Each structure stands twice: as structure tokens, then as C-alpha cells.
């Protein structure tokens, strides 16, 4: 379903580019696809839809050759959808609007008339013909470019101006579905979903999902491959994400009357407040369906998936890894959210991490501090010899270069290990030791003060 999601996303972009003429096709394709009525022809349509979307992102409005091929495709499409066009129609009077009607007027008029004459509702002879005329008129008048051509040259102008042959109209049922929100089942029975707004196509991006991962100290330092099990919402395979039981058709939501929204009025000391909120019954889709048994109507099911995760070297507690598109599936075919893996790192009994440096404390005897020595020090690379120079002062920090943690994303760069030297001064001495130290003391007294 990520496929349909990206379609809707691109759709938004395309509409901004000012191509409303093609937009309805994409939308209807998306909804046809989603309804899982996967007949051969709807599959082909969806492929065209994808092609066209790709072009549009490259700006097809400015590119003549591309535009031609689009028209050719439309022509192919039109031939299969058998649209009847009257010889000379007055689009304004068909829609019952004036010549200077606003886009909103045209839209609302189409909305009213298309519902009224849809052959599924209106069984009068000629209703279908009228429905198609309304659709064609709307298609032309709702498109600024086509409308201005039509205003200047009439219907003939549209034929000449590249709208191809007998004017390349969208299948009126597709247009209707797009306009009213992909009401599945329009082609069939009387399961009327009239009044639904374009809500069903309003896909919703899925939520991000969080996973907490506890790592061993050294796995965080050097990176590791982990297989994690994530439980999140996936698109339901049974209903293809639609939430409707396969083979059934959605009907208008009784609670919101297909509007997808409900208004509540609250009386407060300051007056009446009217609040519009998403319909709790249909979730804003404006329609209710016989719920799919597998997902209970949500279109998504909770599933556990194993995900191979590559934890990069250098992560630390608080690091967050983003795994694209592995979050929860979107509603109504919306794109999935992302998976965020929150890292937590176990502490090490000897090594302490300070960013990319490792802090270690090393205890040596006062004699080793005086004379110098070599000690074995734990590092992330294992135990390493460290030279303690002669005369090392208590509290000295020795640097073991590049024995620290690799930098995240720059694994050839590493921090250092900082070794703090503690000098152990014995609290008790054997009598022999005492004798030797006293000897040392008397030796020291001979020397003038501060000559050390």
C-alpha cells in the first residue's frame, strides 16, 4: 500500500502545478486500486496513472512531447470507456451557471446535478446521458485552460486545441468517484454512497513506531547487526487496506451523513461554541462498510515483523536510529510511518564512556609511580600494555590515543582512552619497609629543600 500512498502524495504536488485535468484520473486510479477490484483493466489504468505521475513530477505542463503522449494515453483510455459527447453543448447551461460563474459555483452545481442524475439513483430514461453531459461540462469549466478555450472557440476549439478527437473527457463515472471520494461500488448495485466527500481518498500517513533496543557496551562501540521483532500495524492483506469486507460496497455513514465530520454545540458562560470534529463512527471517511473480518474494518492488522537492523559503530544511550517506512501502515492506503529505534547501552564494569572517549582509572603503587612501570589496562580492544612514566604524579591522566569509540558515521576516526592514575599509598608498612622508607627520608633530608 505504500504504492498508493506515494501516489496520493505526488497528487498533491501535481495539483499545485495546475493540472486538475489529469488529477481526477490519478485519484480514481488510486481508489480503484485500493478497492481491490483488481480487474485487468483497472490494473492497466493504474499503470498509466503511475506513468503520468512520473512525468508530471518532471513538469509535463511545459513539455510538449510528453503532453502529446499523455493525450494519446487518454485517447486509448477514452476508447474503452465509451463517452458520448453531444455535438454542440452549452456547458454553462448544462450546469445551470452563468458565463461568469466562479469555480466554486461550478463545483457546487456539478455536485448537485451529478448526484441527481447518476444512473444508479436516477432510473429515468436519459439520466445517464444527462449525467455524462454534466460530467463533461464540469470537466471543461473546472479547468481554467479548457474553459478559456471553450469561451473563445466553443466545443470545436477544444477539439482543435489538443483535447483530441471528440474531446478527451475523463470517464464520467471516474470523475464522479473522484469528486465524491471514491465510493466503491458505484458501478454496481444500489448501495448508494452519495454525499460522501472526497474523504475516502484522504489517506493518512501511518504513525511512527518506537522500539527500545538494549545493547552491550562493545556492540554500541563497534556496531552490530541485530534482528529485532517489531509489532506494528500493517496493511491488511485480506481487504487490501480498505477495511471493507471483500465483495461488499461501502455505504454512506449514517452518523455524519457522509460528510466525515460532525458538529457539536457546547453551551458555555461565554456563549455557544460549535465545534467540528472528525466523525467518530467512520473516522472521517464519510462511509461505512461491512468490516473486513481480518482487520475489523481498520484496513490494518497488528503484525510482528523481524527486521534486520544494522547498528552503526559509535551509538550511545539516547541515540535514535530511523528505519524508513517500517512504522505503522497508513490509513486508507496512506504511507507508513517510520520506525525509530531508541538505543540504550549497558554499562561496563571497567570502561566508562564519555562521548567518544573512554575513561579508565588505574591504580599503581607509590613505588611504580616513582620508578615507572608498564601496566595492563582494559580497553575496548581488549587488554593493552600502558607505560607509566617515571615520576608519575597522583591524579595524572595518561592518554591512550585512538583507543576510544569510533565516531558515528566516521568509523576511521576514534576517540581516546583517558587513564587516570591513582597512586596507592600504603597505610601500613612492614618493619622492613618502614626501615627502608626511613632511610630514604634521611637521604632526602641531606639534600637542600626544593631540589627535587
Q: Which residues contact Zn ion by CB under 5 A? A: 236, 238-239, 253, 255-256, 279, 281-282, 292, 294-295
Least CB distance from residue 152 to Zn ion, whole Å? 44
In angstroms, the first-to-last Cα distance of the chain is 79
Nearer to Zn ion, 155 or 298 (CB): 298
The answer to whether the beta carbons of residues 175 and 141 sit under 8 Å apart is no
- Please report how close the Cβ of residue 303 comes to Zn ion at its closest, in angstroms: 12
Tell me how far apart the alpha carbons of residues 243 and 300 are, in angstroms, rounded to a whole number: 7
CB 179 within 8 A of CB 111: yes
Q: Which residues pair with residue 262 across a beta bridge?
A: 277
Looking at the Cβ atoms of 287 and 368, the one nearer to Zn ion is: 287
- Smallest distance, Å, CB 44 to Zn ion? 25
DSSP 370-399: HH-EEEEEEETTEEEEEEE-TTPPTT-EEE
The nearer residue to Zn ion, 174 or 287, going by C-beta atoms, is 287
The number of helices, as runs of H, and strands, as runs of E, in the chain is 12, 17
DSSP 3-state assignment of 261? strand
Q: Cα angle vertex 255, ends 253, 257, to 5°?
A: 55
Q: How far is the CB of 104 from Zn ion (least distance, A)?
A: 24
In 3D space, the residue among 401, 413, 418, 412 whose CA is nearest the CA of residue 351 turns out to be: 418
Output the smallest distance, CB 1 to Zn ion, in A.
11
CB of residue 356 to Zn ion, shortest distance in Å? 48
Nearer to Zn ion, 20 or 257 (CB): 257
Nearer to Zn ion, 204 or 408 (CB): 204
Q: Which is nearer to Zn ion, 19 or 256 (CB)?
A: 256
**Cα 389 to Cα 448: distance, rounded to the nearest angstrom:** 25
Amino acid at each position: 500500500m505504500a504504492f498508493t500512498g506515494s501516489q496520493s502524495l505526488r497528487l498533491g504536488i501535481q495539483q499545485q502545478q495546475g493540472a486538475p485535468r489529469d488529477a481526477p484520473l490519478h485519484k480514481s486510479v488510486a481508489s480503484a486500486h485500493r478497492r481491490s477490484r483488481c480487474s485487468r483493466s483497472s490494473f492497466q489504468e493504474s499503470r498509466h496513472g503511475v506513468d503520468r505521475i512520473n512525468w508530471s513530477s518532471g513538469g509535463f505542463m511545459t513539455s510538449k512531447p510528453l503532453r502529446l503522449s499523455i493525450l494519446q494515453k487518454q485517447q486509448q483510455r477514452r476508447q474503452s470507456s465509451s463517452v458520448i459527447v453531444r455535438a454542440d453543448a452549452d456547458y454553462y447551461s448544462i450546469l445551470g451557471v452563468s458565463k461568469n460563474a466562479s469555480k466554486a459555483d461550478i463545483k457546487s452545481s456539478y455536485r448537485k446535478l451529478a448526484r441527481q442524475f447518476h444512473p444508479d439513483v436516477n432510473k429515468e430514461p436519459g439520466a445517464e446521458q444527462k449525467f455524462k453531459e454534466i460530467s463533461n461540462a464540469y470537466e471543461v469549466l473546472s479547468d481554467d485552460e479548457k474553459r478559456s478555450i471553450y469561451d473563445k472557440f466553443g466545443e470545436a476549439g477544444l477539439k482543435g486545441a489538443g483535447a483530441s478527437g471528440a474531446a478527451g473527457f475523463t470517464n464520467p463515472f471516474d470523475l464522479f468517484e473522484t469528486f465524491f471520494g471514491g465510493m466503491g461500488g458505484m458501478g454496481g448495485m444500489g448501495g448508494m454512497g452519495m454525499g460522501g466527500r472526497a474523504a475516502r481518498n484522504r489517506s493518512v500517513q501511518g504513525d511512527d513506531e518506537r522500539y527500545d533496543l538494549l545493547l552491550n557496551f562493545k556492540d554500541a562501540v563497534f556496531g552490530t547487526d541485530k534482528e529485532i521483532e517489531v509489532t506494528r500495524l500493517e496493511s491488511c492483506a485480506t481487504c487490501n487496506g480498505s477495511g471493507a469486507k471483500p465483495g461488499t460496497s461501502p455505504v454512506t455513514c449514517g452518523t455524519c451523513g457522509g460528510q466525515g465530520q460532525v458538529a457539536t454545540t457546547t453551551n458555555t458562560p461565554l456563549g455557544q461554541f460549535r465545534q467540528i470534529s472528525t466523525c467518530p463512527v467512520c473516522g472521517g471517511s464519510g462511509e461505512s462498510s461491512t468490516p473486513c473480518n481480518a482487520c475489523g474494518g481498520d484496513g490494518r492488522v497488528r503484525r510482528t515483523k523481524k527486521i534486520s537492523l544494522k547498528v552503526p559503530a559509535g551509538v550511545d544511550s539516547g541515540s535514535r536510529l530511523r528505519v524508513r517506512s517500517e512504522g505503522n501502515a497508513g490509513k486508507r492506503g496512506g504511507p507508513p510511518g517510520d520506525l525509530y529505534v531508541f538505543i540504550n547501552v549497558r554499562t561496563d564494569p571497567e570502561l566508562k564512556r564519555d562521548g567518544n572517549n573512554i575513561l579508565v582509572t588505574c591504580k599503581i603503587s607509590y613505588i611504580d609511580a616513582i620508578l615507572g612501570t608498564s601496566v595492563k589496562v582494559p580497553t575496548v580492544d581488549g587488554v593493552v600494555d600502558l607505560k607509566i612514566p617515571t615520576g608519575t604524579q597522583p591524579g595524572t591522566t595518561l592518554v591512550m590515543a585512538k583507543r576510544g569509540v569510533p565516531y558515528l558515521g566516521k568509523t576511521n576516526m576514534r576517540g581516546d582512552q583517558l587513564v587516570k592514575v591513582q597512586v596507592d599509598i600504603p597505610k601500613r608498612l612492614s618493619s622492613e619497609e618502614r626501615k627502608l622508607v626511613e632511610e630514604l627520608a634521611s637521604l632526602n633530608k641531606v639534600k637542600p629543600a626544593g631540589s627535587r
